């Protein structure tokens, strides 16, 4: 028995023995994608996209192995604002695709259980010129029959009494009751547990260092310890590392990862209940009376090479100042945490979900806004991998870069 199989046993101790589960591919080209024929699927990466896909595939009887280089949710998924929303999405067709993503979370919360899902919607406010942006979001939601309530100052104040709604300018407010926030690591844990109970293997601390190819197919992946895993199909769901890993198979996946800063306050005696979106600032409850704060304007100032940041550095202080402007009662409450996340995004900003054009059993799965659309993408991609034609996925096809 290889060390790799022993590793499988060790890391999946509640599973039955799996000595025959990692064998040679069953021959033939995966292009046929007959569900009875293609069943062994290796997913590289246990972020939210990999975990959502593993859950859907295992639930449909596929033989799934998830290979995670670190621990589930260790990369982008662990540093997400995790606001499930369909706002500020352009182009319009992308906005429309996020709408089912919002609804899918309600259903998933029902079927999966757990306390990762925090419904109640979110609130957008805008003053002066920014009021027009809020009104635009309201119109977009109405055009797609999504629930939205336009709010005046007093209605916002009734929902969020700690917000400063300065009354000297034009104002627009909105409540999007279907939107939510989620605990991404909590959701990933639940998805992987359900996948495992459907027979999936979840390997952690098993880093993929090479993808070996032959005649336009990936034949096996090689791990850091030199072990090899064969499968019929390989899915690259490695977040920001996907471009580099795709390159190992000779596949170009042009990505533009960008850093995002999240700061967390110390516990504060305030009553913030929703995700609040105020122009460039997003602020949300973060458990234990803490608040999480982010700003796309602050993100735009970050050095792209940055991966760690101290709480007393200027971007963190800037975020805290923006939060205080919004909620003056924050007073001199300080920060407790500061994290940099890397947005996992293709150069054109749109999701990539499709077979690599030159490697017919390598599927590429990369998306920003993954916290919103992972349940929908997981379902669609599972169908596609098992032989269903999914027209909804056509705009995400990797061939757009060719
Ligand atoms: C600051 C920030 C804020 C965000 N806010 C929101 C939001 O409000 N709403 C929203 O919908 N989305 C948001 N997102 C985006 C969302 O978090 C991501 O789209 C999503 O988490 C991506 O998940 P993923 O599974 O594709 O990638 P990841 O979570 O990065 O998962 C990839 C996994 O692959 C593993 N891996 C990498 N290399 C290897 C290897 N060689 N071998 C094996 N495993 C490997 C990693 O360890 C990791 O666990 C935000 C992102 C950031 C950075």
DSSP codes of every residue in 209-277: EEEEEETTEEEEEEETTS-EE--SEEEE--GGGHHHHHHHTT----B--EEEEEEEEPP------SEEE
Whole-number average pLDDT of the chain: 88
Q: Confirm whether 112 is domain-assigned.
A: no
320 in helix, strand or coil? helix
CATH of the domain at 333: 3.30.9.10
Are 273 and 127 members of one domain? no
User: Could you report the per-residue pLDDT of 46-62, keeping only the tens digit for each?
Assistant: 999 999 999 999 999 99
Are 29 and 162 members of one domain? no
**pLDDT computed for residue 122 by the predictor:** 95
Please tell me the least confidently modeled range out of 41-55, 128-142, 179-193: 128-142
Are 310 and 188 members of one domain? no
189 CA to middle of ligand 1, Å? 14
Give the torsion sign (CA, 142, 144, 145, 148).
negative
What is the distance between the alpha carbons of residues 319 and 122, in angstroms, rounded to a whole number?
A: 20
Q: Confirm whether 86 is domain-assigned.
A: no
**pLDDT computed for residue 145 by the predictor:** 84
Q: Confirm whether 94 is domain-assigned.
A: no
Pocket of ligand 1 (CB under 6 A): 44-50, 67-70, 74-77, 79-83, 207-208, 237-241, 245, 260, 262, 341-344, 366-372
**pLDDT computed for residue 7 by the predictor:** 35
Beta carbons within 8 Å of 115's beta carbon, 6+ residues apart: 183, 186
Q: Which one of 161, 177, 193 terminates a domain?
A: 177
Q: Confirm whether 237 is domain-assigned.
A: yes
- The CB-side HSE value for 324 (13 A sphere, CA atoms) comes to 12
Q: Give φ, ψ of 210 to 5 degrees.
A: -155, 150
Q: Confirm whether 103 is domain-assigned.
A: no
Are 163 and 148 members of one domain? yes
Are 228 and 287 members of one domain? no
Q: Which one of 130, 151, 177 terminates a domain?
A: 177
- Sole residue written with tokens 């000595």: 19
Please tell me the least confidently modeled range out of 31-40, 171-180, 311-320, 343-352: 31-40
User: Could you report the per-residue pLDDT of 314-368, keeping only the tens digit for each?
Assistant: 999 999 999 999 999 999 999 999 999 999 999 998 899 999 988 989 999 999 9
What is the pTM assigned to this prediction?
Answer: 0.90
Are 335 and 359 members of one domain? no
367 CA to middle of ligand 1, Å? 8
Beta carbons within 8 Å of 2's beta carbon, 6+ residues apart: 22, 227
- The residues that bridge with 346 in the sheet, in sequence order, are 255
**Whose CA is closest to 87, among 164, 180, 187, 159?**
180
Q: Which one of 157, 177, 197 terminates a domain?
A: 177
Q: Confirm whether 98 is domain-assigned.
A: no
What is the distance between the alpha carbons of residues 230 and 236, in angstroms, rounded to a whole number?
A: 14
Token reading at 72: 């589930």
119 CA to middle of ligand 1, Å? 22
Are 276 and 338 members of one domain? yes
Per-residue b or e along 354-390, where b marks 16 or more CB atoms closer than 10 Å to that residue's CB: bbbeebbbbbbbbbbbbbbbbbbbbbbbbbbbbeeeb
What is the distance between the alpha carbons of residues 82 and 284, in angstroms, rounded to a whole number?
A: 10
Nearest Cα residue to atom 35 of ligand 1:
45
Domains held by the chain: number = 3
- The CB-side HSE value for 360 (13 A sphere, CA atoms) comes to 9
109 CA to middle of ligand 1, Å? 20
Pocket-testing residue among 282, 307, 319, 344, ligand 1, by greatest number of atoms within 8 A of Cβ = 344
User: Could you report the per-residue pLDDT of 259-293, keeping only the tens digit for each?
Assistant: 999 999 999 999 899 999 999 999 999 989 999 99
Are 201 and 228 members of one domain? yes
Q: Is the pLDDT of residue 4 over 70?
A: no
Q: How confident is the model at residue 140 (pLDDT cuts 50, 70, 90)?
A: confident
Helices (H), 259-369: 296-299, 314-326
Please tell me the least confidently modeled range out of 95-99, 233-237, 371-375, 397-401: 95-99
80 CA to middle of ligand 1, Å? 8
- The residues that bridge with 215 in the sheet, in sequence order, are none
267 CB neighbour count, 10 Å cutoff: 14
Task: Give one DSSP letter per residue of 164-185, joined into a string.
Answer: ---TTS-EEEEEETT-EEE-HH
Q: Is the pLDDT of residue 36 over 80?
A: no
**pLDDT computed for residue 393 by the predictor:** 85
User: Could you report the per-residue pLDDT of 148-165, keeping only the tens digit for each?
Assistant: 999 999 999 999 999 999
Tell the burial category of 154 from Cβ atoms under 10 Å away from its Cβ (0-12, 13-18, 19+).
exposed
**pLDDT computed for residue 228 by the predictor:** 97
Are 300 and 171 members of one domain? no
Q: Confirm whether 157 is domain-assigned.
A: yes
Are 169 and 241 members of one domain? no
In the predicted model, what is the mean pLDDT of residues 5-23?
32
- Sole residue written with tokens 């993954």: 370
Are 194 and 249 members of one domain? yes
Q: Confirm whether 212 is domain-assigned.
A: yes
93 in helix, strand or coil? helix
Report in angstroms the alpha-carbon separations of 119 from 17, 103, 150, 227: 40, 11, 19, 43
Are 320 and 374 members of one domain? no
What is the distance between the alpha carbons of residues 211 and 97, in angstroms, rounded to a whole number?
A: 32
Structural domain that includes position 236? 3-77+184-255+349-401
CATH of the domain at 53: 3.50.50.60
Q: How confident is the model at residue 99 (pLDDT cuts 50, 70, 90)?
A: confident
- The CB-side HSE value for 40 (13 A sphere, CA atoms) comes to 14
Choose the most confident range, by mean pLDDT, from 127-136, 317-326, 384-393: 317-326
């Amino acid at each position: 028995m290889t060390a790799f199989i022993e590793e499988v046993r060790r890391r999946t101790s509640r599973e039955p023995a799996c000595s025959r589960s990692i064998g040679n591919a069953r021959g033939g080209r995966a292009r046929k994608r007959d569900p009875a024929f293609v069943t062994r699927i290796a997913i590289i990466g246990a972020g939210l996209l990999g975990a959502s896909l593993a859950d859907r595939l295992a639930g449909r009887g596929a033989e799934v192995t998830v290979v995670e280089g670190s621990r589930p949710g260790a990369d982008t998924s662990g540093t997400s604002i995790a606001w499930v929303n369909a706002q500020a999405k352009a182009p319009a067709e992308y906005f429309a695709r996020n709408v089912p993503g919002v609804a899918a979370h309600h259903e998933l919360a029902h079927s999966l259980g757990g306390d990762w899902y925090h419904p109640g919607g979110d609130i957008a406010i805008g003053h002066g010129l920014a009021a027009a942006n809020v009104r635009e979001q309201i119109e977009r939601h109405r055009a797609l029959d999504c629930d939205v309530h336009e709010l005046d100052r007093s209605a916002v104040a009734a929902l969020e009494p700690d917000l400063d709604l300065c009354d000297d300018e034009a104002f627009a407010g909105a409540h999007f009751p279907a939107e939510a926030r989620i605990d991404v690591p909590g959701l990933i844990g639940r998805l992987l547990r359900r996948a495992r109970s459907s027979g999936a293997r979840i390997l952690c601390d098993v880093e993929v260092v090479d993808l070996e190819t032959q005649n336009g197919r990936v034949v096996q992946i090689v791990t850091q310890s030199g072990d090899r895993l064969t499968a019929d199909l390989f899915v690259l769901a490695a977040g920001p590392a996907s471009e580099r890993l795709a390159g190992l198979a000779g596949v170009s996946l042009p990505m533009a990862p960008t850093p995002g800063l999240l700061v967390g306050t110390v516990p504060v005696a305030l009553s913030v209940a929703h995700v609040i979106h105020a122009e460039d600032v997003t602020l949300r409850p973060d458990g234990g009376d803490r608040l999480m704060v982010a700003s796309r304007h602050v993100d735009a100032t970050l050095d792209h090479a940055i991966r760690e940041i101290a709480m007393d550095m200027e971007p963190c202080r800037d975020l805290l100042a923006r939060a205080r402007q919004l909620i003056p009662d924050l007073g001199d409450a300080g920060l407790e945490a500061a994290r940099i996340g890397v947005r996992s995004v293709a150069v054109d900003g749109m999701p990539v979900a499709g077979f690599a054009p030159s490697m017919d059993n390598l599927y590429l799965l990369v998306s920003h806004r993954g916290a919103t659309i992972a349940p929908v993408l997981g379902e669609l991609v599972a169908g596609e991998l098992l032989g269903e034609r999914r027209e909804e996925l056509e705009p995400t096809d990797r061939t757009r870069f060719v």
